[in-house]
Amino acid sequence: MMEIDIGEVSKYVGKIVTIKGWLYNKRSSGKIHFLIIRDGTGYIQAIVEKKYVRAEIFDLYDELTLESSIEVTGKIREDKRSPFGYEMDVESIKIVHKTLDYPISKKEHGVGFLLPIRHLWLRSKKQWALMRLRHTVIKAIRDFFDSRGFILIDAPILTPSACEGTTTLFETEYFDEKAYLSQSGQLYMEAACMAFKKVYCFGPTFRAEKSKTRRHLMEFWMIEPEIAFANLDDIMELSEDFILYIIERVLEQRREELKILERDISRLESVKKPFHRVSYTEAVNFLHKNGFKDFPWGEDFGTPHETKISEAYEKPVIVHRYPKEAKAFYMKEDPDNPDVVLCMDMLAPEGYGEIIGGSQREDDYDKLLKRMKKLNMPVDDYKWYLDLRKYGSVPHSGFGLGLERTVQWIAGVHHIRETIPFPRLLEKMYP
């Protein structure tokens, strides 16, 4: 008997095949039973009619509980009445393992209930769609950089000190030394781009901030490209192409999943080049006219400000050239205005917040050293980083994209915790 994946069912119309999976739902009208089966690759409705199958097969319906693992054999048929377009006329059913008291029912559940059973929640249809979407976003990210000649350079996860010095880090032990879980691979990418020109890293990132919002995770995945001889304009351009590439791929390959997620696809289709670009100063003027008339120039934007700015546009918006004092030490001063630095943030539309943060890096040894000293940074720990400005320093730029924030926006889900298989939340890491 031919065994198939449900995802390939359209190739087997008229054939008798076996499907191995789990019972997702069942319904009955007495002499006809409907079994909704999922196997991880898709969903199909299987029909068990009393007049066509042996009594012991027909009666198995009563024993079948939701999420029991089963093997079903029958003929595949196209049928508009099926919620999935295809059906199987069942000839035989084998119960592999009978599930008792599966906790997730067909009605809605709250997160307090679902999070501790994330290992089971992943089987639900919305989570199925989300993880498949996430997979495609990751694949698109790798293909984008690969197709443009970038080299993947993995950054270390155990690091001796903070990269940016602002966020709280997870501390651990490295033999007799203190070590921290990486909060960014950027500094290492700066070293790597001097060896490979165009590089990127894609790995987990850890931030021990006590953030308790629907946009924060303690552990998330970040993609950080870094390019030698690139300036701020170059990476703004790159970030646009990058986001467009991801959106196009998702629209091409994940229509079904977006439908399950009830995503308004027109919002994604309207994302076209060029994105809106505004300077920090222009954004502050905008805020002054839109409900934040006392916002002081020089302060970093908070969430309400970012939301206000992003809601003014139907596409992502890039805000560039923030005040120097509000930004990280490594950002290059704007030669046209020493109060601002050559940096950029990309804000997703619909209030999903910052998905990209990037900058041109300070490439002047003396200026960087002076800045680090002014901020009381442990300069000795950064000797290797300063070396990059000592031996053939060049202008270089890069940015970081938050994978889960991007998936959250594309999928249109309310909370970021659903965009990663096993979310690490504030004081919560089970399962």
* Omega cis (within 30) before 116: no
Residue 142 found at the interface with RNA (CB under 7 A): no
> Residue 280 is encoded by which pair of tokens?
């920090």
Pattern 72-111, RNA, x by CB under 7 A: -------x-xxx---x---------------x-xxxxxxx
Q: Which amino acid is at 157?
A: I
Site string for RNA, 211-240 (x = CB under 7 A): xxxxxxxx-x-x------------------
Based on the shown chain and the rule CB under 7 A, indicate whether residue 394 belongs to the binding site for RNA: no
What is the maximum alpha-carbon separation in the chain? 87
DSSP letters along 190-251, please? Answer: HHHHHHHSEEEEEEEEE------STT--SEEEEEEEEEET--HHHHHHHHHHHHHHHHHHHH
Nearer to RNA, 126 or 267 (CB): 126
Q: Which of 74, 185, 349, 357 binds RNA (CB under 7 A)?
A: 357
Considering only the stretches 250-258, 280-288, 295-303, 386-394, report the one whose residues sit in contact with RNA under the rule CB under 7 A.
Answer: 295-303
Piece of 27-35, 169-177, 229-237, 289-297 that binds RNA (CB under 7 A): 27-35
Phi, psi of 334 (to 5 degrees): -70, 120
* Shorter beta-carbon distance to RNA: residue 67 or 393: 67
Alpha carbon distances (Å) from 279 to 4, 276, 338, 351, 356: 55, 10, 14, 19, 15
Given 16, 20, 41, 66, the residue binding RNA (CB under 7 A): 66
Instruction: Measure the CA dihedral 283/284/289/291, to 10°.
Output: 100
Residue 122 has φ and ψ, to the nearest 5°, of -60, -20
Exposure string over 1-33, b if 16+ CB within 10 A, otherwise e = eeebebeebeebeeeebbbbbbbbbbeeeeeeb
296 binds RNA (CB under 7 A): no
Contacting range for RNA; rule: CB under 7 A; set: 10-18, 203-211, 225-233, 372-380: 203-211
Binding-residue total with RNA (CB under 7 A): 70
Task: Say whether residue 306 binds RNA (CB under 7 A).
Answer: yes
CA distance 234 to 174: 38
Residue closer to RNA (CB basis): 57 or 222:
222
Least Cβ distance, residue 329 to RNA (angstroms): 11
Pick the closest to residue 162 from 389, 390, 377 (CA basis).
377
Smallest separation (angstroms) from RNA to the CB of 188: 15
Q: Which amino acid is at 218?
A: M
Q: Does 59 bind RNA (CB under 7 A)?
A: no
By CB under 7 A, name the binding residues for RNA: 25, 27-32, 34, 36, 45, 47, 49-51, 65-66, 79, 81-83, 87, 103, 105-113, 115, 164, 166-167, 184, 207, 209-218, 220, 222, 300, 302-304, 306, 345, 353-357, 400-402, 404-405, 415-417, 425, 428
